[in-house]
Structure 1
Amino acid sequence: MKAILVLALKSAWARRLTLGITLVAIALAAALLLAVERVRQDARASFTQSISGVDLVLGARTGSVQLILYAVFHSGSASNNIRWESYQAIAQNPAVAWSVPLVLGDSHRGFPVIGTSPAYFERVRYADRQPLAFAAGRPFAGDADAVFEAVIGSEVARQLGHRVGDRLLIAHGSGELGPEHADKPFVVVGVLAATGTPTDRSVHVSLQAMTAIHLDWAGGAPLPGLQIPAGLVRKFDLQPKEITAALIGLHNRASVFSLQRQINAFAGEALLAVLPGVALDELWQTLVVVEQILFALCALVVLVGLAGLTATMLASLDQRRRELAILRALGAGPREIFCMLLIEGLLVTSLGVLVGCVLLAATIAAAAPLVQAHFGVLLGARPPSANEIVLLAAILLTGLVASLVPGWRAWRMSLADGLTPRH
């Protein structure tokens, strides 16, 4: 068997150009298939770790997926707001251990601005209940004496170059071209450490600040002839009248369904409370068809690459008839010839898979910062997961099956046919 292995290696090396092209095709196909599986896994992990420790997400009555998207991932917009009195009534429920209100809708150079309370930095968790940490600075004060303070996420600081002490302006609305609250600049007092969640791409200010910058606005536009300077906003009541959503934690998770029913049947206004895990499962169910289509297309690309391997080996058999016949004359039996062709095909497939894994690792290393910045998905450099190992084994098995055809063809060739090839 050792001699057959050496022959297979030398034979493959002699046809390295032809087989090399096939190897590249298999490598690209394997990398594409693994990339789809890696992105699928990491996207789910990134979404799940963004809301670790939150038992309920509260918002105006809408779809559960829509509520999770705009309250947690800051994608889309709310259909309605929640009155402050309604939020307070729910926050004071005996089952509620803590709550964090959120006011959304404004932005800073394309990054969402979140109005919240200082409890946000104490209660919000990510990954395996890890607390938020500061890379520099401190949380905003959250009172009337220090209204215009902002805490920015790591991606905001990295992309815009903001540091503690810098000034920034908040724009009205979620677009980059919205009118700015130019008369009320904010001072950056803190920069959060990277988390791989939407927090990295957010600007955090106090609830009082969100009220203050809209004192002289109505209907999404500044009131004509009215301008309240930043120094005078403290003379007004800055308690918010409405919030967009709230994150809720409970004393006992066993009471989550009872509180959810109470909120959904709230008499004051139409509210909705969703369990983050259930809402995310619903989101994945809506995307499962897309995942299946992408996976099927990638599997088809792999099959095309392995079909090319089969075609290449079959096409070379006519040129190798005399070589195979000489091997038969020197004592190699049909089984050895069959094994040699099988080893060649498996060798090319294995090298293609190996190159594909290296290519995937290099691509992830290069593209991970861009993917995290634009999509909030953290692509991790790690060993293949169980699902990826199954995919790799499936590719190798398919390559082995693809090599059976040329192996069987070589096995059928007779000694006389090899010594006297037909023209």
Structure 2
Amino acid sequence: MYLFRLAVASLANRRFTAFLTAFAIALSVCLLLAVERVRTEARNSFASTISGTDLIVGARSGSVNLLLYSVFRIGNATNNIRWDSFQHYAHDPRVKWAIPMSLGDSHRGYRVLGTDQSYFEHYQYGRHQNLAMAAGRFFATDPFEVVLGAEVADALHYKLGDTLVLAHGTAAISLVKHDDKPFTVVGILKRTGTPVDRTLHISLGGMEAIHIDWHNGVPARGAGRISADQARNMDLTPSAITAMMLGLNNKISTFSLQREINDFVGEPLLAILPGVALQELWSLMGTAEKALFVVSLFVVLTGLIGMLTAILTSLNERRREMAILRSVGARPWHIASLLVLEAFALALCGIGAGLALLYAGIAGAQGYVQANYGLYLPLSAPTAYEWSLLGIILGAALVMGAVPAWRAYRQSLADGLSIHL
């Protein structure tokens, strides 16, 4: 214990250098744990984007592509699927519920999803959480009503009763807009931390209405235009949709129905299991995830090397101090232990300060990160894996502290007491 007190007193005598060394370790520890927290929570958030859905069905392409445009609103479908194909499987006795999805339009860079009431009733995220309203209601019989995701409402400053115009296509800037058929905001969803927050939701009838006077991808002109009031009185049943989500009565029938859909003779379809596709997509990003973790490890290593450099630099200045300790009875292993304990104390202070910085950062940025990136960072105690990382850092500090300790151990009493000019 007296050696530890002596080590602390020695560091206090060199407080400025010790502070900078511990601070460098603290920053590296904070970065490492922050990267690990973000990595873990990003994976959890990614996996909880959709839950409770047994199959996602779209035009035949790739499973990742289907998942990206149907769940994450990224990319575009290679083709649509016919409405009668949706009806065929929606009324299958094995299917408990079916959600139609129609994509292809946008508003100021945010995707528009055409769907029906079943979306709000059955779509789930996280741990089987249903969508809920923060204000207003779901769209009803009027085809020109829109329900906004939380991020859309916040970023574009929309409130209930506002009107907006949708644009054709998914580009951030579109030259073709459906300005003759504006939509009214009737509801704003609670924040979910998923792509739902970045989506505008309209009815299938609304999606059909804004394209009812379009021919071959071009809007009609002059007398061929159909007004919003005229569209309200027309049959707005879609002829095709982009994708559908299915929930089954019995999970056992999932694979048999998937094979049946993939072999459907009516048109080429692809059915995927969301969980499997999510794992496949995450594996594609695994390299970047590991690279980020490795970079943070090198930052920690840099901090520890800085500690080693500081102790080695001070060692030459402390040769007389070591010799005096030897002259009053300290044995060589006492001197070596003193330097190891100094390295241990620096690393321990750095780890403690790093944890304090981490929690202060999470407390300060938690709301902002969740609001802007949909990522929830909990103020929870370090996990067993994080404790193991901290233990490894502490062990590495002890190993590095052994280098100057060995040098001090080998220095002789005469070497320290003699004056070198």
The answer as to 2:148 corresponding to 1:155 is: no
Matched residue, 1:5: 4
State the SS of the aligned residue for 2:285: helix
Deviations 1:74-95 (A, max 9, x none): 1111111111111111112211
How far apart are the structure 2 equivalents of 1:336 and 1:107? 72
Tell me whether 313-322 or 8-17 shows the greater mean CA deviation. Answer: 8-17
Matched residue, 1:387: 385
Q: Of the candidates 178, 185, 199, which is equivalent to residue 181 of structure 1? A: 178
Tell me whether 335-344 or 202-211 shows the greater mean CA deviation. Answer: 335-344
Matched residue, 1:122: 121
State the SS of the aligned residue for 2:247: strand
Q: Per-residue deviation at 1:371?
A: 4.6
How far apart are the structure 1 equivalents of 2:419 and 2:258? 80
Q: Per-residue deviation at 1:418?
A: 1.8
The equivalences for 1:131-142 within 5 A come to: 131-141=130-140
Q: Of the candidates 303, 317, 333, which is equivalent to residue 335 of structure 1? A: 333
Deviations 1:306-360 (A, max 9, x none): 1121111111101011112222223333333222211211222222223333333
Matched residue, 2:320: 322
The equivalences for 1:24-423 within 5 A come to: 24-141=23-140, 143=141, 146-178=142-174, 179-225=176-222, 226-368=224-366, 371-372=369-370, 375-423=373-421
How far apart are the structure 1 equivalents of 2:377 and 2:215? 42
How far apart are the structure 1 equivalents of 2:419 and 2:64? 68
Tell me whether 271-280 or 336-345 shows the greater mean CA deviation. Answer: 336-345
How far apart are the structure 2 equivalents of 1:46 and 1:345? 39
Deviations 1:142-194 (A, max 9, x none): x3xx1111111111222222122222221212222113211211111111111
Asked if structure 2 preserves the Cα contact closer than 8 Å seen for 1:100 and 1:116, the reply is yes
Deviations 1:240-296 (A, max 9, x none): 111111111111111111111011111111111111111111112222222222222
Matched residue, 1:16: 15
How far apart are the structure 2 equivalents of 1:382 and 1:101? 39
How far apart are the structure 2 equivalents of 1:363 and 1:77? 38
Q: Summarize the Cα distance change of 1:218–1:158 in structure 2 as closer, same or farther, 3 Å threshold.
A: same
Q: Summarize the Cα distance change of 1:261–1:115 in structure 2 as closer, same or farther, 3 Å threshold.
A: same
Q: Structure 2 length normalisation: TM-score?
A: 0.94
How far apart are the structure 2 equivalents of 1:265 and 1:128? 32
Tell me whether 310-319 or 388-397 shows the greater mean CA deviation. Answer: 388-397
Q: Structure 1 length normalisation: TM-score?
A: 0.93
1:76 maps to a residue whose letter is G
Q: Per-residue deviation at 1:99?
A: 0.9
Asked if structure 1 preserves the Cα contact closer than 8 Å seen for 2:99 and 2:244, the reply is yes
Asked if structure 2 preserves the Cα contact closer than 8 Å seen for 1:19 and 1:348, the reply is yes
2:125 maps to a residue whose letter is Y
In structure 2, list runs of 5 or more residues that go unmatched: none
1:391 maps to a residue whose letter is L
Q: How many residues align?
A: 419
How far apart are the structure 1 equivalents of 2:270 and 2:334? 70
Asked if structure 1 preserves the Cα contact closer than 8 Å seen for 2:192 and 2:374, the reply is no
How far apart are the structure 1 equivalents of 2:78 and 2:362? 37
State the SS of the aligned residue for 2:318: helix
1:148 maps to a residue whose letter is F
Q: Per-residue deviation at 1:70?
A: 1.0
Asked if structure 2 preserves the Cα contact closer than 8 Å seen for 1:322 and 1:421, the reply is no
Asked if structure 2 preserves the Cα contact closer than 8 Å seen for 1:103 and 1:243, the reply is yes
Tell me whether 222-231 or 92-101 shows the greater mean CA deviation. Answer: 222-231
Tell me whether 106-115 or 373-382 shows the greater mean CA deviation. Answer: 373-382
In structure 1, list runs of 5 or more residues that go unmatched: none
